[in-house]
Structure 1
C-alpha cells in the first residue's frame, strides 16, 4: 500500500491499465494528469492507437504442449524476459518524486528494457547507477549539435545497451489540454491551477520538499528552464533542430556503433531508409497521438513495414498497447516487441516504484497468458496464422 496523501492506493485492487489511470487521476493535480493523459488536436489518434487493436481478432490454436510458455526474447542486443520495452518518456518528476530511477529499477526486476529520454529529470549516469538492467538512451537532435555526440559518448561510458533517435518532433503538437490547464515546466502555481494543487496535498507536499525539475541531461549546456517556467511545446520549438535529415541520423548511427532504433516512423518507405542508413530497429510510433492527429495507428503499420524491410530489421510497436493480447497481435503481424509509456507513468503517479513494479508484473503475466491461450509456447511461435483472414464488421472503426 502506498500513501502519498490520504488517498490510499490499494495496489492489490489495481488490475489493469485503466485502474492505474484512475488512480493516477486521483493523485495528480489536473495540469500534470492531463499532460500525461492527453494528445494533440481532437485526440483521434490518441484513441485510435488502442482501438486499432480490436481490428485484429485472434484465431487461437489448441491441443499443443503449453506446459511451459517462454516469453524471453532478444532485442536491441539485450536479453529480455518479455517482448516489452518501457518507452522513453520525459520529465517523470512531474508524476512522482521518485522519478526515472524508480521506473528503471522496476524494469530491471522484471528483466525488461528501460528507455531514458533526453528530457528526463534524472541524468543518464544516475539512472545507470540505479539499475543494472538493460537500458536504452533516447535522443533528440538539439540546435546545439555538440550535445548529440556528447550524448553518444556519455551513453557508451554509462553502459547503455542501445541508442534511440526520435524523429517525429519537427514541430510541437497542438496539445490543447495543456493550453486549457495552463501546464508549465517546471510546475508553477497559478490562479487557474491553485485549487487543483491544494486538493492534491501529497503531490504538492513533495513539490515543495523537492522542487528540482531540471532537464538533467541538457541543463549543463542549455538550461532553457532556468529563466522561468515555459510550456513544453515552447521548449521543443526553441531548442530542437528541425533541419535534421537522414544524413544526420547516419552520422549518429556510425558514431554509436551498436544497436540503434529510430523512433517515430510509420511509413514502409521510411523504414527502408532507416535500414539503409544502418538502424537496427524501428519503433513504429506516432508519439502516442501527441503530434500529428490523424496519423495511422502503429499496429496498422506493422505488416506492410515488415513486408518492406524483410525479416532482419527489428520492429517495435510503440503506441496504444494496454493488454497482453495486444502484444500477441503485434507479434503475429510481424513485430519483434512492443513498447509503452503511459501505462507505467500512470503506475508511477499512483504509487511510485511499487506501482510500476505491480503494473509490469501484471503485464508480463498477461503476455504469457495471452501467448498460451493463442497456442504459442514461445514468442517466435506467434505468426500471421493467428489472425483472422478478414476483419469482421464488428471490428471496423
Structure 2
C-alpha cells in the first residue's frame, strides 16, 4: 500500500508523547500542539529572511572580472564587509541595538558563570539524550533545548515539506528478507570501508552542515570529537563556524572531506582550496543543488536569521529556551571561519556569502574546480538525482557521485534519493563510488541504501538532532544508535560485510509496488532491487 508522507512521523509523535509524560505538564503539550497547528495554517509571509536572501553589496564582485592578487582581493573584501556592517547597523531598530549591546556587555559575566550554570540548565536535555532509544527521541530533545527558529531551520524543509517527508517515508516501501542458520555470530560483522579515500569504521559518515555552532556552542568541534570516538569519516562545510585547523585537530584521521560551493570570486575560492590542502583535506564534495535557495516557509514563520537579529519575537522565544540562550550568550559570537576576514560581524559575512553565490554556475565551473583541486584526492558531485547527470559528472572530472536532494530543503516534491539510487548506480556502473543521503533516521535505512547500490550513506539530521540536544554527548548517542541498528540488521540478514550484503541484495531486498509507482516504473518481483523499467506514455 502506498504510504503517504504524513505516515512517516508516528515515531516522532510517539517520542513527543513519552517525553511529555516523563516530566512536562499536559498543558504544555497542548500549547505546543496548538502552536504547531497555527504555524501550519498561517499564511505564507511576504518577506524573505536575512539568512537566505541577503542585501547585496553595492560593490559586489562582477562576473568575469579579472582576478586581482590575493592581497588586493583581501583588502577589497575587508572594505566591503565594513560597508555592509555599517549598513546593517543603520537598519536596526532601537530595540535590536539595545539587545545586541546588552548581550555583548554581559558576555564576560555569563562566560565566567557558564561552568556553574550550564550543567544545571542542560541537565534535563542531557537526561533526554541519555534515555533516548532512537533518533526521534533525540529530535524531541533538540526541539525542547534549541531556540524555536534554530529548531525550525534544523527540522524544516521547502514549502509544505512534502519532499522532506517523502524522503523519509520512501524507506518504508523497501523490505528485507532475513536469513536463518547463517552462522554469523556476535562480533563477526565487519563494517569497515573507505569513503572518498578516508578509512572508516562504518559505512555511514557525518555529512556537512553549515553553522553548527548555531545548534550548540561547541558546534563542529563536538561533532568531530564524537566522530573520532567511533572512527567515522566526516565532511566539513565550507560555511563552518569552526576553523579548518580546529576540526582537523579534533579528528585528524577522519575529517578530511571539504564540502563547498562555486563562488563568483575565484581568487577567494582558490584561497579556501589552498587552505584546505594545507590542513590535510584529501577530498572535496561540490554542492550543486544550492544555486537557488529553496522557499522554506517554516523558517520564515519562526523568524529565522543568521545571526539572531534580537527581534522581539526572537527574544521571547529565547526565554523559552534557557539552556540554548545562556550557551549562546556565554560564548564568542560565531562566524563563518572558512572565509578570510571572518573576524567581522556575522551579519556582514552572511551578506558577503549571499553575494558570492552563483546561480548560473555550470559544468564549466565544475570542471575548473576539479582542475584546481588536481590530484590531491577524489572530488564528488553532491546533489545528483539522475543517471544522466551522474554520467556527465564523471566525464567532467568527478570521481564520485553523491545522490542528494539537499535534505528536502530546496525543491518541493523532489524525488526521494533512495528511489533514484538504482538509476544512478546502473548509469555509472559498479566501480564508481556512489554516496547517498536523505531521510535516514534509523540504521535499517542505511542497510537498505547499501543493499540498493550505495557504497556509503551520509547522515545529516540524525546526528544534528543529537548535537542540538546535547553537544558532543548527543552526537555520540546518535552515532551509537545508528551503529547498533546497522550491526543488528546485518546479523539478522546473515551478512558479515558490506560487500557480502551487496552480493546478496537480489535475495534480500524487496521493492513493493508502491515504490515502483512513485518513480514511474513497473514492478517486477523477479528483479527486486534492480533498476525499474520505465513506463512508456501512450
Tell me the TM-score normalised to structure 2 length: 0.70
> Which residue is equivalent to 1:123?
243
> Which residue is equivalent to 1:250?
367
Write the distance in 2 (CA, Å) between the matches of 1:181 and 1:290: 16
Q: Which structure 1 segments of 5+ residues have no match?
A: none
For the 8 Å contact 2:125–2:469, the answer to whether it is kept is no
Deviations along 1:6-39, one digit per CA (max 9) or x if unpaired, are 5342233111110000000010110111011100
Shift in Å, 1:244: 1.6
> Which residue is equivalent to 2:190?
70
After superposition, the Cα gap between the structure-2 partners of 1:98 and 1:3, relative to the gap in structure 1 and judged at 3 Å, is farther
- Does 30-39 or 5-14 show the bigger shift? 5-14
> Which residue is equivalent to 1:29?
147
Partner of residue 238 from structure 1, selected from 347, 355, 364: 355
Write the distance in 2 (CA, Å) between the matches of 1:202 and 1:221: 26
Max radius of gyration: which structure? 2
Write the distance in 2 (CA, Å) between the matches of 1:86 and 1:389: 28
Write the distance in 2 (CA, Å) between the matches of 1:355 and 1:289: 23
Matches within 5 A, 1:300-315: 300-315=419-434
Deviations along 1:98-133, one digit per CA (max 9) or x if unpaired, are 110110111111111111101111121221122223
Secondary structure in 2 matching 1:185: coil
> Which residue is equivalent to 1:52?
170
Matched, 1:107 2:224: no
Partner of residue 83 from structure 1, selected from 203, 216, 219: 203
> Which residue is equivalent to 2:279?
158
Shift in Å, 1:277: 1.7
Secondary structure in 1 matching 2:413: coil
- Does 175-184 or 202-211 show the bigger shift? 202-211
> Which residue is equivalent to 2:112?
none
Matches within 5 A, 1:252-291: 252-256=369-373, 257=375, 258-291=377-410
Shift in Å, 1:347: 0.4
Matched, 1:322 2:441: yes
Shift in Å, 1:63: 2.1
Number of aligned positions between the proteins:
393
Shift in Å, 1:65: 2.4
> Which residue is equivalent to 1:98?
218
- Does 62-71 or 296-305 show the bigger shift? 62-71
> Which residue is equivalent to 1:347?
466
Partner of residue 138 from structure 2, selected from 3, 20, 32: 20
Secondary structure in 2 matching 1:7: helix
> Which residue is equivalent to 2:102?
none
Shift in Å, 1:247: 2.0
> Which residue is equivalent to 2:35?
none
- Does 236-245 or 321-330 show the bigger shift? 236-245
Partner of residue 335 from structure 1, selected from 454, 464, 484: 454
Shift in Å, 1:188: 2.3
Write the distance in 2 (CA, Å) between the matches of 1:393 and 1:254: 43
Shift in Å, 1:372: 1.2
Write the distance in 2 (CA, Å) between the matches of 1:361 and 1:395: 33
Secondary structure in 2 matching 1:192: helix
For the 8 Å contact 2:447–2:486, the answer to whether it is kept is yes
After superposition, the Cα gap between the structure-2 partners of 1:126 and 1:390, relative to the gap in structure 1 and judged at 3 Å, is closer
For the 8 Å contact 2:402–2:435, the answer to whether it is kept is yes
Shift in Å, 1:170: 1.5
Q: Which has the higher helix share?
A: 2
> Which residue is equivalent to 2:266?
145
Write the distance in 1 (CA, Å) between the matches of 2:313 and 2:123: 24
> Which residue is equivalent to 1:192?
313
After superposition, the Cα gap between the structure-2 partners of 1:309 and 1:72, relative to the gap in structure 1 and judged at 3 Å, is same
Matched, 1:41 2:159: yes
Partner of residue 367 from structure 1, selected from 474, 479, 486: 486
After superposition, the Cα gap between the structure-2 partners of 1:129 and 1:59, relative to the gap in structure 1 and judged at 3 Å, is same
Matched, 1:167 2:298: no
Matched, 1:381 2:500: yes
Matched, 1:220 2:341: yes
- Does 67-76 or 29-38 show the bigger shift? 67-76
- Does 384-393 or 207-216 show the bigger shift? 384-393
- Does 294-303 or 145-154 show the bigger shift? 145-154
Deviations along 1:123-182, one digit per CA (max 9) or x if unpaired, are 212211222231211111112221222222111111113111101011110011111111
Over the aligned positions, Cα root-mean-square deviation in angstroms equals: 2.2
After superposition, the Cα gap between the structure-2 partners of 1:394 and 1:219, relative to the gap in structure 1 and judged at 3 Å, is closer
Secondary structure in 1 matching 2:487: helix
Write the distance in 1 (CA, Å) between the matches of 2:507 and 2:132: 30
After superposition, the Cα gap between the structure-2 partners of 1:205 and 1:395, relative to the gap in structure 1 and judged at 3 Å, is farther
Write the distance in 2 (CA, Å) between the matches of 1:153 and 1:227: 24
> Which residue is equivalent to 2:21?
none
Shift in Å, 1:62: 2.6
Secondary structure in 2 matching 1:47: helix
Secondary structure in 1 matching 2:177: coil
After superposition, the Cα gap between the structure-2 partners of 1:2 and 1:168, relative to the gap in structure 1 and judged at 3 Å, is farther
